Structure 1
Amino acid sequence: MANSWFDRNPKKTICALLITVLLLMAYGAEKLLKYKNQGIGFNYALPHRAIRLREYRPSMTEAFLPGKEERYFDTLVLKKYILRLDNDGFIMPSKKYDHPDLSLVFLGASTTECRFMEEKERFPYLAGALLEKRLGIRINSYNAGRSGNHSLHSINILLNKIVPIKPQIVVMMHNINDFVILLYEKSYWNHNSSRSVIIDLNDEIVSNFIKIMRDRYIPNLAAEMRKFGKSVRSLWKSEPQGGHLSGQGDEFAQVRDKKLVINQSELTGQFEMNLQCFIYLCKARKIVPVLMTMASRLKETPDKVIADGIREAGLDYAEFKALFDGFNDAIRRKALENHIMLIDLAKGIPPEREYFYDVVHHNPKGSVKAAEIIIEHLQPLVQQIVEQKNATLN
């Protein structure tokens, strides 16, 4: 009779038995200690919560090419657009001078980011450059916009990223992302996969570990693989409902089919509290706060491409416009109540395709128009601040 596998491999058999015994002992010890400790004791696997600093990765350089999700962008030039980030996560060009006469920062979302535009056409940069030329002074103008951000994200960015660079002026523009998140999630504090303000670091580490290792050792190959994957997916399925409004996939798919109950006073009330926090924080840190309304192509009789885009997102056009206008009114109201500067882009830029490539995003001509309106408001304030600074130094 042939020897059994166990007889032929005594060392492997002993190792297997030893491992089995150790595993059983560990399992038994864990069960015993669980009963004994009754949940008392530190555990690294417990949630490790942190506040999300929602920004693009510092030092990132990315090329964006409009695709199927931009099908409602009727004046967008279809080509590659480069987005470069500095070491602090600001969109470049950013810090031009080590010792500027004045620094200003623009806070906002994709309408401030100006992704589909050449670098020097983006109004946060352009406004600073035009002011610098007019006044003959050195200005650092920072673009802290991030697609998908709402006002609570910007408050966090203000406190933890902008305050340390000690700007004299911070301009904030929010509207559409705030009412969309409040409309679907009912609160700024929610569990939305990409827009929640609180995250579990353990979940982030587990879900991103392989991606981090991949991008650390084969970043260029990984980038091409992502592009290829995106191209393949776009061939098989169209953009989900509502994706074009945010420039991303449908983050609200799980709640989109639910009947929406719109309480405009409740939504604007939550938004106004964030605006007030922004104002208080700026003043407490000796920064001049400026609020800015958001311009759009929303009008009584909308262009077909705009009406179609909003309809596909599952929203009634009239209700959408009423919410958008109501949030701009809230911005005007808070600026008036707090006696701070208001830059009313919504009144200054006509709601026409000449200035926008979709509902709210500027094309280059719209960006130039926005920059011109901004500098007309900021110029006297900038002059005053610089004169006071020079008087103090002298």
Structure 2
Amino acid sequence: MGWFKRQRVRVYGIVIAFFLPFVLEAVLRVQDALPVPQQYVTLNRYIPRRQRENLRRHVYLDEKVFPELPSSFQFSTDSNGFRSRPGTRDKGARGIRVVFIGGSTTEGSLLDDAVTWPAVASTLTEDLVGHGIGVADLNMGVPTTNTRDHVASIAQYVIPRLPDIIVLSVGINDLELHFHPTYNPFRQEAHSSVRFLDWVAGSDFLNHFYLLRLLRLQKDGDVDWSWTGPRVRLDAGDFVRKNRALRAKLPYKKLDVAFFPPPEFEQNLRSIVGEVMANNVRIVLMTETWLFQDVVPPETMSKFWGHETLFKYREGDLDRVLTKYNDVIRKIAREFRLPLVDLERKLPKNVDYFFDEMHFTPLGARKVAEQLAPILADLIRNKNNQASHSL
């Protein structure tokens, strides 16, 4: 091969290498099958993270890890980062806006938009109320968030949406916050800062390029290919599988049940209730529950994956601690005469209701919704009766 021929081949290679990313970018845009990799957005250290707006994720799960769940589901948010039922009606002349606040058990992280308990409760409530009254359900559940976060997020995200009713489900994430070795009631722990890489990953700039989305998704999860384009398989399966195996090997450590809950939990609850009531919004409190208890059958124990770094707490001790958090919620509900959905006392610790120690299956989500819907229906009827009497 002559010198000129070698140079020509080299130029062809450079041209192809230069244009190939643009061709791939164009193909990925036409297929439009890649979701935004970063699901949550962190603005700054004072405002809790929230879900990214306008998400459209069709997720495929590992059926071996999650046999209790559908193999695929739709996860989407509106222009403000709230989940809701597909085609939900917004608040109008005969509509009610209900905001659901909590952690991952509220979000329904591995459930379809239509089968989370906030979505099902909204549908059941519409059926109970009737008269063409719609419920605009806004699901603001975000994993790991606690009452410390909710105090800020209600003012930042919720009150500006002019809700009629707020449903608050808290307890487990506060318990886990207080377990953390960096916990400090003066809010000086590491969670108060935002890492630079988290900020970059959450920025919109990178998400405009589908090729960068693909690289990020390939790193964080599995991407299967087909003629219609790439298919994203959530990596939660690998995470849960590894932590289930690790948890089974860890030793137990004694838990000082008497220490919990610290005063901050009740203080934050009072702040939330005061903030909501000051804005003339009705609030419904919920206790939380899980599968932890003194005696756990082996087949149920095999579902659990949560643990500390080098040990795990006894399931019965954890359950007694959560009861103390729930007692604070009951106390606040009595004091302010608030509606209460007492899941700890009314929802059985049925293995069919949970796919791990605390997150609901579609059946469990429906059972939660059935407890909540009559309370929401009564609040809506009372609100409408008061409005008609004032005319």
Report the TM range for the smaller structure's normalisation.
0.7 to 0.9
Structure 1 residue identity aligned to 2:388? N
| Matched-pair contact (CA < 8 Å) for 2:295–2:316 | no
Tell me the distance in 1 between the aligned counterparts of 2:389 and 2:114: 32
RMSD of aligned Cα (Å): 3.6
166-175 or 179-188: bigger deviation: 179-188
Equivalent in the alignment of 1:333: 331
How far apart are 1:305 and its partner, in Å? 4.6
How far apart are 1:64 and its partner, in Å? 3.8
Tell me the distance in 2 between the aligned counterparts of 1:103 and 1:191: 35
Match of 2:280 among 286, 291, 297: 286
**Equivalent residue runs for 1:1-394 within 5 Å:** 50-67=45-62, 71=65, 76-77=68-69, 79-93=71-85, 96-99=89-92, 100-136=94-130, 137-185=133-181, 186-187=183-184, 189-192=187-190, 196-199=191-194, 205=199, 207-208=200-201, 213-218=205-210, 220-222=213-215, 224-226=217-219, 227-228=221-222, 241=243, 262=256, 264-307=258-301, 313=307, 314-392=312-390, 394=391
Structure 2 residue identity aligned to 1:170? I
Aligned-partner SS, 1:177: helix
| Matched-pair contact (CA < 8 Å) for 1:349–1:355 | no
116-125 or 297-306: bigger deviation: 297-306
Structure 1 residue identity aligned to 2:272? F
Task: Give me the TM-score of the superposition, normalised by structure 2.
Answer: 0.72
| Matched-pair contact (CA < 8 Å) for 2:286–2:343 | yes
Structure whose CA Rg is larger: 1
Tell me the distance in 2 between the aligned counterparts of 1:286 and 1:261: 41
How far apart are 1:282 and its partner, in Å? 0.6
Tell me the distance in 1 between the aligned counterparts of 2:246 and 2:322: 17
Structure 2 residue identity aligned to 1:114? G
Counterparts in 2 of 1:309 and 1:369: CA distance versus 1, 3 Å: closer
Counterparts in 2 of 1:353 and 1:238: CA distance versus 1, 3 Å: closer
Equivalent in the alignment of 1:24: none
Counterparts in 2 of 1:324 and 1:237: CA distance versus 1, 3 Å: closer
Tell me the distance in 1 between the aligned counterparts of 2:112 and 2:61: 14
How far apart are 1:235 and its partner, in Å? 11
Equivalent in the alignment of 2:40: none
How far apart are 1:328 and its partner, in Å? 1.4
| Matched-pair contact (CA < 8 Å) for 2:244–2:302 | no
Counterparts in 2 of 1:390 and 1:167: CA distance versus 1, 3 Å: farther
Cα distance per residue 1:170-224 (max 9 Å; x no partner): 11011111111111142362544xxx24537x6755x549x75443222553354
5+ unaligned residues in a row in structure 1: which ranges?
A: 1-47, 246-255
5+ unaligned residues in a row in structure 2: which ranges?
A: 1-42, 224-231
Tell me the distance in 2 between the aligned counterparts of 1:182 and 1:378: 31
How far apart are 1:300 and its partner, in Å? 3.3
366-375 or 259-268: bigger deviation: 259-268
Cα distance per residue 1:2-51 (max 9 Å; x no partner): xxxxxxxxxxxxxxxxxxxxxxxxxxxxxxxxxxxxxxxxxxxxxx9641
Equivalent in the alignment of 1:29: none
| Matched-pair contact (CA < 8 Å) for 1:183–1:262 | no
Tell me the distance in 2 between the aligned counterparts of 1:139 and 1:336: 27
Tell me the distance in 2 between the aligned counterparts of 1:355 and 1:237: 21
Pairs aligned (count): 327
How far apart are 1:294 and its partner, in Å? 0.9
Tell me the distance in 1 between the aligned counterparts of 2:57 and 2:172: 25
Equivalent in the alignment of 1:27: none
Tell me the distance in 1 between the aligned counterparts of 2:51 and 2:245: 19
Structure 1 residue identity aligned to 2:350? E
Cα distance per residue 1:122-178 (max 9 Å; x no partner): 111111111112212122121111112112222222111110111121110111111
| Matched-pair contact (CA < 8 Å) for 1:123–1:367 | yes
Structure 2 residue identity aligned to 1:154? H
Identical-pair percentage = 19
Counterparts in 2 of 1:265 and 1:51: CA distance versus 1, 3 Å: same
323-332 or 261-270: bigger deviation: 261-270
Tell me the distance in 2 between the aligned counterparts of 1:272 and 1:156: 16
| Matched-pair contact (CA < 8 Å) for 1:214–1:222 | no
